[in-house]
Structure 1
Amino acid sequence: MKIAFYGSSLLSSYWNGAATYYRGLLQALARLGYDITFYEPDVYDRQKNRDIEAPDWCAVVVYEAAPHALMQVAARAAEADIVVKASGVGFEDDALLRAVLDHARADALTVFWDVDAPATLGQLRDEPDHPLHRALQEIDLVLTYGGGDPVVWAYRAMGAAECVPIYNALDPETHHPVGKDRRFACDLAFLGNRLPDREARVEAFFLDPASRLADQRFLLGGSGWGDKQMPANVRWLGHVGTRDHNALNVTAKAVLNISRDSMAANGFSPATRVFEAAGAGACLITDDWLGVDLFLKPGEEILVARDGDDVAEIMQSLSAERAKAIGASALRRVLGEHTYTTRAVLADAIFRRHFERPTVEAAE
């Protein structure tokens, strides 16, 4: 089956946290026999900061951020059996959604794939005239990056015919243990772009503990932090491409995950970096969110901090030996239960069920 996937970017993780999610999941679907074309707009300097070139398992079409180019690529939805519009594409999202739905064949499966469901649902609650409200009456299926039952119930209440979370996971070919790199030597590392709905949590969970642990070294990776006041023991790396994520995760004694406000409030939304870090065998500390224990076991496979005080306490007592043991346990767990291969099998079953449904109804 052919998939037309309209997303932010497959080729670049620059200001695009969904890149590794797209790559892992779509490559796994390609292995199951799907013929995939990914359409991404040339925005935010992403094409100047590519992590990869177009892979052999997926065709990639980069289009100009202009209305005529958007309409040209939207028209190609007519060629696909499955038409996917992701959230947060970054250029005229509402117009793109309308255009791909208008061009999709009547027999095609139409999918809205939400990579930031708690935030999207919050916007829908605040904006009763948002175009997505109308589109949900037409779309066959909503898939989400996470969110658990709260997101499923909320989307169904807003008119979605079906909503299923397809969680982040690990691509072992991309994220795996490597040798240490002294560029990333530190006690605690955090990797994340500066975003309005995460900055206060970064201050509380990362910068404040750093200010109290002057004898420890902290690394901050991600875009947008250049003018942020930081303690002297925090070194800012700027954008860290995915090719360096393994080395950073392996080299730091511990790696910190900090959820965005909406993700933390909703729960059941592990960030991609959780599985990336675990796949490299890193000792991961995460802020506390509902459902973390469904993915990794607190205290054995991941450490959980309720606030900055907990982070500071963990770092004061964390030995290199314990950090290594936690990382090894996390690696075993994600390889066994949380790979994109398992996620793709779920997505494939959902897709096939939709195409088989008319035949089943006819037989009855």
Structure 2
Amino acid sequence: MKIAFYGSSLLSSYWNGAATYYRGLLRALAARGYDITFYEPDVYDRQKNRDIDPPDWCKVVVYDGTLDALKAVTAQAREADVVVKASGVGFEDDALLAHILAAARPGALKIFWDVDAPATLAELKANPDHPLRKALSRLDLVLTYGGGDPVVEAYRGIGARDCIPIYNALDPETHHPVTRDERFAADLAFLGNRLPDREARVEAFFLEPAASLPGQRFLLGGAGWQDKPMSPNVAYIGHVSTRDHNAFNVTPKAVLNISRESMAQNGFSPATRVFEAAGAAACLITDAWVGLDLFLKEGDEVLVARDGKDVAALLGELDGARARRIGENARARVLREHTYAHRAAQVDRILQHKPANLAREVVP
């Protein structure tokens, strides 16, 4: 079965938090026999900041950030059995969706794959005439990388035929324990780009605890923080390539996950960081969100902070032995239940069964 997947970038994680999700899931689908072509625009300097070379399990087509190039690559959708438009591609998303739907052949399964469902739904709620809202009746399915029942019900409520979450997971070939790297030595490390609905939470859960613990070392990675005021015990290292994520996770005593505001409010939205850290057997401290217990058990496999004071308290009482035990427990759990092989099996069942269901729907 051929899949044409139009997304932000498979080759670069630069200003592109969905990269590792795409890589893990599509590689696992390719292992199940799917023939995948990924189309990504050359925008935001992503091609200058590639983390990987084009893989052998997926054809990658990079196109110029122009409407002519967009039209050329969307015309190729007619060759696919499954056509996927992801959210947040970053160049003319509305036009991209329109051209994909126009090009897809009759009988092809047409999917919108939302990698930031709470934010997308907020945008659709604010704009009843949004092109995506109008396109839902022409799409066969909405898949999301999280959100649980609230997202499913919201999408169905505005006209989606169906909505199914396909959660983030672990690719154990990519994220795993490695040797410590002293570049990333710290008591607590956080990795995330500076985004409007994340910044206040980074202040509360990371920068304020750092200021309150001058005797401990904090490490901040990610793009956009260079002019952010921070205490002297915070080292800012800028963008961290995915090739360094394992070392970034295993070297500090603990790593921190901070959900974006919309995802924290919605719940059921584990970030890729959660599974990357667990895969490396890192001790993870995460902000609290509904649904966490579906993935990791508080206290045994993850530490949970309700605010910045909790972060400081957890870090203050955490010793190396307990940190290692929590990390090892988390790794065992995600290997058992939450790998991309598990997610690909779920997607495979959907893709294999959905076309038959749709065919029955159109028979008089």
- How high is the TM-score relative to the length of structure 2? 0.99
Displacement of 1:48 in angstroms is 0.2
- 1:63 & 1:360 partners in 2: Cα distance? 37
Q: Determine the structure 2 residue equivalent to 1:275.
A: 275
Q: Determine the structure 2 residue equivalent to 1:82.
A: 82
1:313 aligns with 2:276: no
1:171 aligns with 2:185: no
- 1:305 & 1:293 partners in 2: Cα distance? 14
Sort the Cα spacing of 1:289 and 1:276 in 2 relative to 1 into closer, same or farther, 3 A: same
- 2:117 & 2:205 partners in 1: Cα distance? 23
Question: Residue 196 of structure 2: SS of its match in structure 1?
Answer: coil
Question: Residue 137 of structure 1: SS of its match in structure 2?
Answer: helix
Question: Residue 197 of structure 1: SS of its match in structure 2?
Answer: helix
Displacement of 1:363 in angstroms is 11
- 2:287 & 2:357 partners in 1: Cα distance? 41
Deviations for 1:12-41, whole angstroms, at most 9, x for unmatched residues?
A: 000000000000000000001000000000
Sort the Cα spacing of 1:268 and 1:4 in 2 relative to 1 into closer, same or farther, 3 A: same
Taking the TM superposition and a 5 Å limit, the aligned residue runs for 1:232-247 are 232-247=232-247
- 1:358 & 1:320 partners in 2: Cα distance? 54
How many pairs does the alignment contain?
Answer: 364
- 1:187 & 1:351 partners in 2: Cα distance? 44
1:41 aligns with 2:31: no
- 1:115 & 1:363 partners in 2: Cα distance? 33
- 1:163 & 1:27 partners in 2: Cα distance? 23
- 2:92 & 2:305 partners in 1: Cα distance? 38
Q: Determine the structure 1 residue equivalent to 2:228.
A: 228
- 1:201 & 1:131 partners in 2: Cα distance? 31
Amino acid at match of 1:27: R
Taking the TM superposition and a 5 Å limit, the aligned residue runs for 1:131-150 are 131-150=131-150
Unpaired stretches in structure 1, ≥5 consecutive residues? none
Q: Determine the structure 2 residue equivalent to 1:286.
A: 286
Deviations for 1:184-226, whole angstroms, at most 9, x for unmatched residues?
A: 1100000000001000000000000000000000000000000
- 1:233 & 1:120 partners in 2: Cα distance? 36
- 2:356 & 2:327 partners in 1: Cα distance? 42
Question: Residue 123 of structure 2: SS of its match in structure 1?
Answer: helix
Q: Determine the structure 2 residue equivalent to 1:196.
A: 196
Question: Residue 169 of structure 2: SS of its match in structure 1?
Answer: coil
- 1:220 & 1:309 partners in 2: Cα distance? 18
Amino acid at match of 2:35: D
Taking the TM superposition and a 5 Å limit, the aligned residue runs for 1:145-164 are 145-164=145-164
Amino acid at match of 1:289: W
Displacement of 1:355 in angstroms is 2.0
- The alignment's C-alpha RMSD in Å is 1.2
Q: Determine the structure 1 residue equivalent to 2:254.
A: 254
- 2:220 & 2:358 partners in 1: Cα distance? 52
Q: Determine the structure 1 residue equivalent to 2:352.
A: 352
Amino acid at match of 1:345: A
Q: Determine the structure 2 residue equivalent to 1:265.
A: 265
Amino acid at match of 1:82: V
- 1:328 & 1:215 partners in 2: Cα distance? 27
- 2:163 & 2:358 partners in 1: Cα distance? 19
Q: Determine the structure 1 residue equivalent to 2:126.
A: 126
Deviations for 1:29-81, whole angstroms, at most 9, x for unmatched residues?
A: 00010000000000000000000010000000000000000000010000000
Amino acid at match of 1:184: F
- 1:25 & 1:84 partners in 2: Cα distance? 13
Q: Determine the structure 2 residue equivalent to 1:108.
A: 108
Percent identical: 71
- Range with bigger deviation, 236-245 or 354-363: 354-363
Amino acid at match of 2:217: R
- 1:185 & 1:292 partners in 2: Cα distance? 27
Amino acid at match of 1:263: M
Amino acid at match of 1:181: D
Question: Residue 106 of structure 1: SS of its match in structure 2?
Answer: coil
Displacement of 1:235 in angstroms is 0.2
Amino acid at match of 2:7: G
- How high is the TM-score relative to the length of structure 1? 0.99
Question: Residue 25 of structure 1: SS of its match in structure 2?
Answer: helix
Amino acid at match of 2:193: N
Question: Residue 225 of structure 2: SS of its match in structure 1?
Answer: coil
- 1:223 & 1:257 partners in 2: Cα distance? 16
Deviations for 1:114-148, whole angstroms, at most 9, x for unmatched residues?
A: 00000000000000110011100110000001000
Q: Determine the structure 2 residue equivalent to 1:29.
A: 29
Displacement of 1:356 in angstroms is 2.4
Question: Residue 161 of structure 1: SS of its match in structure 2?
Answer: coil
Displacement of 1:354 in angstroms is 1.3
Sort the Cα spacing of 1:362 and 1:204 in 2 relative to 1 into closer, same or farther, 3 A: closer
Sort the Cα spacing of 1:185 and 1:358 in 2 relative to 1 into closer, same or farther, 3 A: closer
Q: Determine the structure 2 residue equivalent to 1:4.
A: 4
Amino acid at match of 2:88: G
Displacement of 1:357 in angstroms is 2.3
Q: Determine the structure 2 residue equivalent to 1:60.
A: 60
- 1:263 & 1:272 partners in 2: Cα distance? 13
Runs of 4+ residues deviating >3 angstroms: 358-364
- 2:309 & 2:71 partners in 1: Cα distance? 51
Q: Determine the structure 1 residue equivalent to 2:297.
A: 297
- 2:206 & 2:134 partners in 1: Cα distance? 41
Question: Residue 85 of structure 1: SS of its match in structure 2?
Answer: strand
